[in-house]
Amino acid sequence: MVAMPSEPCQELTQSPRYNLDGDIIFSVAKDQHICAWYSHNGERLGTYHGHVGAIWTVDVDPTTTMIASGSADNTIRLWDVKSAKNLKTWEFPTAVKRVEFSEDGTKLLGVTEKRMGYLSNIVVFDINPDPAAEQTDERALTIVCDESKATVAGFSYLNRYIIAGHEDGSVSQYDAKTGELIDNIPIHELNQPIVDLQWNADRTYFITACKDKSAKLVAARDLTVLKTYPADTPLNSATITPKKDFVILGGGQAAMDVTRTSARQGKFEARFYHKIFEDEIGRVRGHFGPLNTVAADPTGKSYASGGEDGYVRVHHFDKGYFDFLYEVERERINRMS
Amino acid sequence: MAAAVSNKPQQDWADDDDGIEEPSTELPPVQTISNKDGTKTIISYRINEDGQKVKTTRRVRYITQRETVNPRVADRKSWSKFGQSEKDGAGPAPDTTSIAENMIFRPSINWRKDAKEEMGEQEQLKDKLKDKKVKCRICNGEHFTARCPYKDTMAPVGGTADPAAAPIGEDPALSAGPGPGAAGAKKGSYVPPALRGAGGAAAAGRGESMGGKFGDRDDLATLRVTNVSEMAEEGELRDMFERFGRVTRVFLAKDRETGLAKGFAFISFVDRSDAEKACAKMDGFGFKHLILRVEFAKKAAQ
């Protein structure tokens, strides 16, 4: 199907993320800079320097003017995409494991690690979309997760809820204005951490990836589990593909076990499932280590996976991918036409 | 010449492993050669899953593809590079970007089934045996037959139902309980075929031994012919011995691979007197430059 450039970064662990137009991929790794790449040919546009610790997370605003990154140096930094200037730095007592912009780019959310007596927090900042403007120091909201550490979080549609995934396998729904906990539902096996949470295009539902070897599609409104995708390995990431009704799961043996298993046994493959029928429809090999992150191109033309092996692989889909239909889908199209 | 050889550091056999592994950790840089026809040859090295160094030579043709994009995207394409890529030229830099091999990905509903077929035979076998449990032949329990607690008190399931499969001579003794003879007393212990039925009525079962299908005839009227030429044929031997009487069987030992005679043969007669005649006449007979030696075949050692 896919011919694609792959992009080695010196350090292990890669987490790529597409911008909204799907032309630029931002990737972070345990080396201390963020990379920006053109997705169509894998050319590196540039790097962002300033962090002094491993970078865990990056997100880009909807207009691709600013990116935010969270790092083990206990900061969230805001960058101007074009000039690579560090616009703002927020400091925290512990590492930042996740940042995410809201749908409209006016809010930024960060999830801080629970460590050294500090509880895990979800913090929200108001963002001025003008890169020249001064950004506020004030937190718009702080949600303290005292029950179980939050690992991932994001804004739902219309900034109505903040949805968080927890270490104990549950998801929480908070009111995005007041920070009040509305609901907490254990959807995954107890004490199996949810490690990824990615939205569909309009943020009405999301997919969780969990170490319990499954991914689940969950509605943002009432946290009902819509679909379950069982895998045969602990998952690190899951994403929903636009255009085609697929989901991509990435995972593999834990990093510490990798040296003892061959690439084949380690199950270092991106798994494609049909979003609606929940069937596994194929796998894509290529990485030499577990997949840390899979990210779908918002335009649906490609996907990127970041591996423990230090590569970001960008795969462009070909015709066979777009032509694939279930028999029932084909029948329905025929009836409609 | 000799000096040149000695200049080379002598490698100890014990260091052999290091010598092999060292080059594999350092990979030569990627080479790119522009060809006349507009293609480029890219030679790259990598280490495969088994730790072996793999050299990949690829010829790549760059085709400029025109695509209509959103103006925002077009604007971003014209951005100047920054950070560590500041000095990179247009296009992907070979030190950060490499083109991977084409991956074949065909979504399929039957993906799992297809993948199973691709799986190695060994893995398939493993898969098949995954749900298999150890089953005892005696009590159907989940242990090996040898470990069965009823091993000494019960016969294998279905074993006695089929008399043909049961050891000869032992079966009647068994059904009669701890009956007469050695065979019945120690059930379960191994009895060599020759001794089976020894506890029964004399040598009734002795026919079990090899060559039983020819009966006694074999021992009485069979000649052993040795020093037979390699070029001999069974037909020739039959012709020669049929002069003395009716021959029922001619066996000429032949090498399986070469097809040449091994040098000995057995001739069976219907009548022992004919055999005696043949033995007397043919012993010392010249056949194909060799002198035959003919004698009565000895009975197989008991």
The ipTM of this complex is 0.70
Q: Token pair for residue B151?
A: 């091993």
Picking from A8-12, B45-49, B105-109, B121-125, which range would have the lowest pLDDT averaged per residue?
A: A8-12
Q: Taking CB atoms and an 8 Å cutoff, what residues of chain A touch B84?
A: 33, 44, 46-47, 49
* Chain A residues closer than 8 Å to B79 by CB: 45, 82
Confidence bin at B219 (pLDDT 50/70/90): low
Mean pLDDT of B215-237: 77
pLDDT value of residue A29 = 83
pLDDT top residue among A46 and B173? A46
Output the pLDDT for position B202: 43
What pLDDT is attached to residue B85? 79
Dist. CA B248–CA A41, nearest whole Å: 86
Q: Do B82 and A5 touch (CB under 8 A)?
A: no
Please report how many Cα atoms fall inside a 13 Å half-sphere around the Cα of residue B122, on the Cβ side: 0
A25 vs B: CB within 8 A: no
pLDDT score, position A336: 85
Q: Walk across the sheet containing A170-175 and list its strands.
A: A150-155, A161-166, A170-175, A181-186
Token look-up 């951005």 returns B79
Mean pLDDT of B221-248: 85
pLDDT for residue A98:
92
Among B70, B76, B96, beta carbon nearest to A8: B96
**What is chain A's mean pLDDT, rounded?**
86
Among B103, B106, B112, the strongest candidate for a mutation testing the A interface, having the largest count of A CBs within 10 A, is B103
Q: What is the pLDDT of residue A273?
A: 92
Q: Answer whether A281 sits within 8 Å of B107, measured CB to CB.
A: yes
pLDDT tens-digit map of A168-177: 999 999 998 9
* pLDDT at position B272: 82
Question: What is the structure's pLDDT at A2?
Answer: 43
Q: For residue A228, what pLDDT is reported? A: 94
The DSSP H or E segment spanning A297 is none
* Residue B163 in this model has a pLDDT that exceeds 60: no
The CA-to-CA distance between both ends of chain B, in Å, stands at 71
Would an 8 Å CB–CB cutoff place B301 in contact with chain A?
no
For residue A43, what pLDDT is reported? 85
SS3 A152: strand
- CA–CA distance, B126 with B187 (Å, rounded to integer): 36
What value does the mean pLDDT of chain B take? 69
Looking at residue B168, what is its pLDDT? 44
Going across the sheet that includes A280-284, the strands are: A235-241, A246-251, A270-274, A280-284
Token match 């499954």: residue? A214
pLDDT of B109 strictly over 50: yes
Tokens representing B231 are 């070029």
CB contact under 8 Å between A43 and B102, yes or no, is: no
Instruction: Read off the pLDDT of each residue in A195-204 and give the average, rounded to a whole number.
Output: 92
Please give the pLDDT value at position B121: 57
Contacting residues of B for A280, CB less than 8 Å apart: 111-112
* pLDDT for the residue numbered B98: 77
| pLDDT value of residue A74 | 92
Mind listing the pLDDT tens digit for each residue in B239-297? 888 888 888 888 888 888 887 888 888 888 888 888 888 888 888 888 888 888 888 87
Averaged pLDDT for residues A258-280: 75
Q: What is the pLDDT of residue A68?
A: 93
pLDDT of residue A214: 92
Say yes or no to pLDDT of B6 above 80: no
User: If you average pLDDT over residues B113-142, what whole number do you get?
Assistant: 67
Question: Which residues of chain B lie closer than 8 angstroms to A41, CB-CB?
Answer: 91-92, 97
Residue B184 DSSP SS3 = helix
pTM flag (> 0.90): no
Which has more confidence, A221 or A265? A221
- Position A4 pLDDT exceeds 70: no
Task: Give the integer Cα–Cα distance in Å for A336 and B301.
Answer: 89
Which chain A residues contact residue B97 at CB under 8 A?
A: 5-7, 37, 41-44
Q: Quick one: average pLDDT of B197-207?
A: 47
Minimum Cα–Cα distance from B91: chain A residue? A43
Supply the pLDDT for residue A268: 81
Mutation target for A interface from B82, B87, B108, B130: give the one with most A CBs within 10 A. B82
Give yes or no for residue A53 having a pLDDT over 80: yes
**Nearest in space to B299 (alpha carbons), one of B270, B271, B266, B276:** B266
Q: Per residue in A14-48, pLDDT tens? A: 788 898 888 899 998 888 889 898 888 888 888 99
Tell me if chain A has a CB within 8 Å of the CB of B102: yes
- B111: closest chain A residue by CA: A281
Residue A154 has pLDDT above 90, yes or no: yes
Q: What is the pLDDT, as a whole number, of residue A199?
A: 93
A281 has a pLDDT exceeding 80: yes
Average pLDDT over residues B112-138: 66
Average pLDDT over residues B70-79: 84
